[in-house]
């Protein structure tokens, strides 16, 4: 399965190398440009089918995913698993929440949480807390790419389509920043930015 996922990433040029700032604020040399996969419904559905297969035989009622990057992957997984789907998003104050329209669907349900790429796992833990606050039981976490190579432990069963060891640094410890190599912030303007030490 690992090779199949890598093949998909290569087919849509979603595996990038350079100097990147991740959502977590850390810097690294490898970035998975998931938006390039999201633009290919055929590939999204392939990954959704693979993810559903990862959890075949496990008991859950609903697939949930945090907005916005993971929504398409969670939706595709729900389709192939034959389950209902809901998504989470951040409130105006930045807190991860279940959308009001999905609360009745999520309350009392056993949830499989689908995330796209994990570096530190912060958004996953926020999502779990939001789902539990909404009355759901998170029975598992499924990742498209686990950049911790299996080290991430959300406290429930966790499986990934692709686990890689991708080193990352705090901005003030980043060797590429020390060398003055411009940093790219994927998902924003896509343009290179100056990277003084200690910047984020």
Residue 90 burial (10 A CB sphere; 0-12, 13-18, 19+): middle
> What is the chain's percent helix, strand, coil content, to nearest 5?
35, 30, 35
Which domains, from first to last, does the chain contain? Answer: 2-182 (3.40.50.2020)
Task: Return the higher-pLDDT residue of 26 and 128.
Answer: 128
- The pLDDT of residue 60 is 97
pLDDT in tens, 149-193: 999 999 999 999 999 887 889 999 999 999 999 998 876 534 334
- The pLDDT of residue 187 is 62
pLDDT in tens, 59-86: 999 999 999 889 999 999 999 999 999 9
pLDDT at 129 over 90: yes
- The pLDDT of residue 107 is 96
- The pLDDT of residue 164 is 87
- The pLDDT of residue 194 is 42
Q: Six-digit token pair at 130?
A: 């939001």
pLDDT mean across residues, the chain: 89
Burial letters 51-84, b for 16+ CB under 10 A, else e: bbebbeeeebbbbbbbeebbbbbbbbbbbbbebe
């Amino acid at each position: 399965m690992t090779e199949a996922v890598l093949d998909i990433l290569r087919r849509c040029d979603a595996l990038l190398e350079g100097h990147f700032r991740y959502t977590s604020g850390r810097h690294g040399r490898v970035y998975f440009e998931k938006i390039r996969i999201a633009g290919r419904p055929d590939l999204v559905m392939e990954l959704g089918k693979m993810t559903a297969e990862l959890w075949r035989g496990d008991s859950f009622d609903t697939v949930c995913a945090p907005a916005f990057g993971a929504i398409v992957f969670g939706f595709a997984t729900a389709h192939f698993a034959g389950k209902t789907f809901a998504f989470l998003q951040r409130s105006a104050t930045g807190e991860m929440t279940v959308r009001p329209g999905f609360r009745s669907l999520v309350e009392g349900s056993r949830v499989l949480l689908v995330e796209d790429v994990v570096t530190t796992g912060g958004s996953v833990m926020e999502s779990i807390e939001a789902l539990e606050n909404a009355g759901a039981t998170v029975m598992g976490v499924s990742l498209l790419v686990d950049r911790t190579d299996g080290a991430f432990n959300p406290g429930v069963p966790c499986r990934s389509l692709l686990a890689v060891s991708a080193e990352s640094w705090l901005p003030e410890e980043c060797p590429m920043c020390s060398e003055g190599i411009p940093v790219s912030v994927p998902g924003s303007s896509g343009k290179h930015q100056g990277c003084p030490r200690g910047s984020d």
